[in-house]
Amino acid sequence: MLRRPKAIAFDVSTLHDAQDAGARYVEVKDSETGKAYKAAMSTVWAKGWEFNRGYGRQWGVPICEWNKDNQPAQLSLLERMI
């Protein structure tokens, strides 16, 4: 988690490895708050930026971009009954 700007960051190589393995979404759970953040891999690449603060190439995605394009779908009536 970045404090300035408020964002979630990853090693660029880790994101590439996940995408190469078939990942379509990234999900992160904040261990302090328990809140889960989820975004499509396409959103991560489109809305993020690369930076290096002395720990190698990293990719940051602003907090406001998480949980937008993949909100939990409402269950259908049939799914609720099962």
Nearest to 19 by CA among 54, 52, 48: 48
- Burial (CB < 10 A; 0-12, 13-18, 19+), residue 71, is exposed
CA distances from 2 to 15, 30, 70, 74, 78 (A): 17, 12, 22, 31, 42
Mean pLDDT of 3-16: 95
Q: Of all residues in the chain, what percent carry a pLDDT higher than 90?
A: 70
**Residue 1 resides in a domain:** no
Residue 34 belongs to some domain of the structure: yes
Q: Does residue 80 sit within a domain?
A: no
Give CA 52 to chain center in angstroms: 19
How many structural domains does the chain have?
1
Range of the domain at 40: 7-72
Q: Which residue has the higher pLDDT, 32 or 51?
A: 51
